[in-house]
Amino acid sequence: MKVLVAVKRVVDYNVKVRAKGDGSDVDLNNVKMAINPFCEIAVEEAVRLKEAGVATEVIAVSVGEKPCQEQIRTALALGADRGIHVEAEGRIEPLVIAKLLKGVVEKEQPQLVILGKQSIDGDNNQTGQMLGALTNMPQGTFASEIKVEGEKLNVVREVDGGLQTISLSLPAIVTTDLRLNEPRYASLPNIMKAKKKQLDVYSPADLGVEVTSHITLVRVEPPAERQAGIKVEDVAQLVDKLKNEAKVIS
Amino acid sequence: MSNISPEILQALQACVGESRVLTDPDSLALYGRDWTRAHAPAPSAVVLPGSIAEVQAVVELARARQLALVPSGGRTGLSGGAMACQGEIVVALDRLNRIEDFNPVDRTVRCGAGVVTAQLQAFAEEQGLFYPVDFASSGSSQIGGNISTNAGGIKVIRHGMTRDWVAGLKLVTGSGELLDLNRGLVKNNAGYDLRQLVIGAEGTLGIVVEATMQLARPPQNLTVMVLGVPDMAAVMQVLETWQGAMDLQAFEFFSELALQKVVAHQGLQRPFETPAAFYALLEFEQHTEADLDQAMALFEHCVEQGWVVDGVVSQSVAQAQALWRLREDISETISRWTPYKNDISTTIVRVPDFLAEVEAVVARAYPDFEIVWFGHIGDGNVHLNVLKPDELPMAEFQQRCGEVSRWVFEIVQRHEGSVSAEHGVGLLKKDYLHYSRSAAEIAIMKQIKQVFDPQGIMNPGKIFDL
Ligand SMILES: Cc1cc2nc3c(=O)[nH]c(=O)nc-3n(C[C@H](O)[C@H](O)[C@H](O)COP(=O)(O)OP(=O)(O)OC[C@H]3O[C@@H](n4cnc5c(N)ncnc54)[C@H](O)[C@@H]3O)c2cc1C
Ligand SMILES: Cc1cc2nc3c(=O)[nH]c(=O)nc-3n(C[C@H](O)[C@H](O)[C@H](O)COP(=O)(O)OP(=O)(O)OC[C@H]3O[C@@H](n4cnc5c(N)ncnc54)[C@H](O)[C@@H]3O)c2cc1C
């Protein structure tokens, strides 16, 4: 079984992001970039399927500018077999990414596509679902456990207030939630091996997709500064403040 | 129970205010001890002065009434320096916790002695700068305590000890004088540099009330590697290989048992499954991809030489932090076995021979004890921790460890090392001071103490007995 995994290059989630002075965008100058955490989980799951003998080949694909090859290399070091870079400039919207991934799906014909449930930069939570619609493949989103059983893929999903198990026919799409697995570290010997793995580069035109834009980023602003805490003298004062200032109790 | 006389209690209250003198058993037990557990705390009172003037008033009272004072910071000390076991009055600097002013041109910041180390680190970060002294207890330790122990930590290989970051300090001496030492000057060759005597004095010369700390440019894109290493000699080979080619920000090591304990108790992930006797943790700045390529080449070289069996490198800040926890969480993890700690050092070149000898002694003396090794090996500093078996009584455990310590310290002496690399002497190491300081040196230290503190009221019985 061939597995395709999408990986996105995003701002490292431990970095405190700042808005540009003019509020036009997030300031990415000299900021540490990393694999989107949910994509890292997707790669780990695909590699585990391979280690379990279920997957035969794991392909990591990333859409973006040249530097996102670093994140493809990370995926290769974690155990993916080869990489595909769809080179596209600028801010690419989920719909376009989904169309580009559809192009890759048509070329590679994977039985399973694993994506993060969302990327922590855009927080869109759309790409996996859109890819499902475009390719007419069933989708199991917010997966916390997956298991291939014969021709079926069972997905345990994290839904409000509990878990839901669904069974999908293959080929299928899965988007990962946080508890699906704990990704491994990239070992140094594997990073070296990853350098020799195949990495193909496509342009959107190669995949027959035109990069369009429907969304304009109007403004980015930081959250309001949190007010400093105060110390209350006694319980009575605390209750009074909760009642009359914070208005959280009555 | 406090046995303080009502009259002294009243006088203390007059110095700092009624609510700032604590004599209840909980407060006495809390403020009377540091991180060590070998002695029982028994202070007679705790005072919390809120200004330099109040500190001076307390010292004046102590002079007039011949009262012993124990300066107290975050009480994370590992040598018993902040222990008050004999009815002393604890002077806790917690309330002098204001960051007073920041000087962007000199890149210095003036702060109260009670400012917590992490508070200074966070302040520096807000200014786009960096305070580089860091270790696992920085969330509780105070600048006054760091100065008084000349704290080291995990960035010493690149940034030095606390001493290197103190641009000035204010001290209330045992004779009640307020000294303003060095005032933030970079160059000041006008006579003796008394500031340097105060740094590392463990509160025996006076009370540090304020400090002017130097800040640095923040490091860029810190990357962490953890390598599996077959033996200590190889750890040193790895260090030499890297030192020759890259500027390391940190070079730490820990043993397999340390890793096992941390993984089991902190719920962390092993870096890799390949077993190794020791692990080296390296941190470096990655300005460009070339830095990583360089590190990879060094890794390959070490593998070819048989010095390294496996390794990982952080791919994100989260992974860098998780790898650091493998090293930083060791102290806290093993504290549940009330370990007997040795904090020993020698010059880096002598470390392999030195450690081989120490390992042999320890293996012979403690066949039945668990030994956890870790430390700042890039500085020639190892922490040797003997874990107390649960069923063994504390006194017996201490006694057995004390005997073996002598043998260990004889090795330290032969290798011209230190019996206390960074934790200070306090109560725990004072019987062993002569293994790394000559009689003449100790005699001068005592004379210096008498000049600063003629009545012997400042942390008496710490470092040495007069
Ligand atoms: C988990 C853990 C990890 C640690 N790792 C390291 C490490 O890597 N490197 C390292 O060097 N240390 C380490 N330590 C030891 C300790 O954190 C440091 O020695 C620290 O500098 C102590 O600061 P403190 O404020 O807690 O001082 P305290 O323990 O309160 O006091 C230490 C000494 O300084 C004196 N003192 C405190 N404040 C003043 C003052 N204002 N004026 C005069 N004297 C004062 C005390 O009397 C005492 O003698 C570690 C401790 C723990 C618990
Ligand atoms: C043209 C010129 C330029 C200079 N530029 C600088 C400069 O840029 N920066 C700077 O810091 N200085 C400068 N100096 C001053 C001088 O060169 C330095 O102070 C230098 O360190 C003095 O070294 P010396 O061996 O000549 O010491 P001396 O002049 O011989 O002695 C200096 C002091 O040290 C004592 N002393 C000497 N040797 C010992 C010893 N072995 N043990 C104990 N005490 C000892 C002496 O008793 C004396 O008190 C300059 C001087 C000149 C003439």
Instruction: Set out the domains of chain B in order of their start, with CATH numbers.
Output: 6-92 (3.30.43.10), 99-214 (3.30.465.10), 222-331 (3.30.70.2190), 338-440 (3.30.70.2740)
CA distance B41 to B37: 9
> Contacts of residue A30 in chain B, CB cutoff 8 Å?
220
- The atom of ligand 1 lying closest to the CA of B140 is 26
User: What's the mean pLDDT in B42-62?
Assistant: 98
The total of other beta-carbon atoms located within 10 Å of residue B267's CB is 7
- The atom of ligand 1 lying closest to the CA of B424 is 19
Q: How far from B204 is each of B164, B426, B452, CA to CA, in Å?
A: 21, 10, 9
Would the CB of B79 count as within 6 Å of ligand 1? no
pLDDT band at A227 (very low <50, low <70, confident <90, very high): confident
pTM, 2 dp: 0.88
| Cross-chain residue pair A188–B225, CB shorter than 8 Å | yes
Arithmetic mean of pLDDT over chain B: 95
Arithmetic mean of pLDDT over chain A: 94
Would the CB of B72 count as within 6 Å of ligand 1? yes
Ligand 1 center to residue A55 CA distance, Å? 54
Residue B366 has pLDDT above 80, yes or no: yes
Would the CB of B135 count as within 6 Å of ligand 1? yes
Tell me which residue has its CA closest to atom 18 in ligand 1: B77
Among B221, B227, B272, whose Cβ lies nearest the Cβ of A32?
Answer: B221
Report the pLDDT value the prediction gives residue A161, as an integer from 0 to 100: 87
User: What's the mean pLDDT in B289-315?
Assistant: 95
Report the pLDDT value the prediction gives residue B131, as an integer from 0 to 100: 97
User: What's the mean pLDDT in B396-411?
Assistant: 90
Would the CB of B207 count as within 6 Å of ligand 1? yes
Would the CB of B76 count as within 6 Å of ligand 1? yes
Ligand 2 center to residue B192 CA distance, Å? 16
Digit-coded pLDDT (tens) for B98-109: 999 999 999 999
Residue B330 has pLDDT above 90, yes or no: yes
Digit-coded pLDDT (tens) for A152-171: 999 999 998 899 999 999 99
| Cross-chain residue pair A185–B312, CB shorter than 8 Å | yes
Of the listed ligands, the closest to the CA of B187 is 2
CA-based nearest distance B305→chain A, Å? 15
Supply A113's token pair. 């596509």
> Contacts of residue A32 in chain B, CB cutoff 8 Å?
221, 316-317
Q: How many helices (H) and strands (E) does chain A have?
A: 6, 12
Supply B78's token pair. 């590992």
Residue B334 has pLDDT above 90, yes or no: yes
Interface of A with B in 63-92 (CB under 8 A): 70, 74
CATH topology of domain A2-225: Rossmann fold (3.40.50)
Q: Which of A40, A78, A185, A191 to mutate to test the interface with B (most CBs of B within 10 A)?
A: A185
Digit-coded pLDDT (tens) for B408-465: 999 999 999 999 999 999 999 999 999 999 999 999 999 999 999 999 999 999 999 9
CA distance B387 to B406: 18
Would the CB of B81 count as within 6 Å of ligand 1? yes
Would the CB of B145 count as within 6 Å of ligand 1? yes
Residue A236 has pLDDT above 70, yes or no: yes
Q: What percent of chain A has pLDDT over 70?
A: 100
A36 to chain B: nearest residue by CA?
B316
| Cross-chain residue pair A186–B310, CB shorter than 8 Å | no
Q: Which of B279, B291, B312 to mutate to test the interface with A (most CBs of A within 10 A)?
A: B312
Report the pLDDT value the prediction gives residue A106, as an integer from 0 to 100: 97
Ligand 1 center to residue B302 CA distance, Å? 37
Residue B48 CA to its chain's centroid (Å)? 23
CA distance B239 to B251: 7
Residue B1 has pLDDT above 70, yes or no: no
> Contacts of residue A69 in chain B, CB cutoff 8 Å?
none
Residue B365 has pLDDT above 80, yes or no: yes
Among A13, A70, A186, whose Cβ lies nearest the Cβ of B313?
Answer: A186
Among A12, A188, A189, whose Cβ lies nearest the Cβ of B316?
Answer: A12
Among A30, A74, A189, whose Cβ lies nearest the Cβ of B315?
Answer: A74
Residue B43 has pLDDT above 90, yes or no: yes
User: What's the mean pLDDT in A128-149?
Assistant: 97
Residue B2 has pLDDT above 80, yes or no: no
Domain residue limits, chain A: 2-225
pLDDT band at A15 (very low <50, low <70, confident <90, very high): confident
Would the CB of B69 count as within 6 Å of ligand 1? no
Among B311, B316, B317, whose Cβ lies nearest the Cβ of A187?
Answer: B311
Q: Could you tell which of B34, B79, B149 is best to mutate to test the pocket of ligand 1, judged by most ligand atoms within 8 Å of the CB?
A: B149
A-B C-beta contacts closer than 8 Å: 58
DSSP letter assigned to residue A79: T
Supply B119's token pair. 């508070």
Q: Does A17 touch chain B (CB under 8 A)?
A: no
> Contacts of residue B289 in chain A, CB cutoff 8 Å?
70
Report the pLDDT value the prediction gives residue A226, as an integer from 0 to 100: 82
Residue B367 has pLDDT above 70, yes or no: yes
User: What's the mean pLDDT in B191-208?
Assistant: 98
| Cross-chain residue pair A13–B299, CB shorter than 8 Å | no
Tell me which residue has its CA closest to atom 20 in ligand 1: B146
Range with lowest mean pLDDT among A64-73, A231-240, B161-170 = A231-240
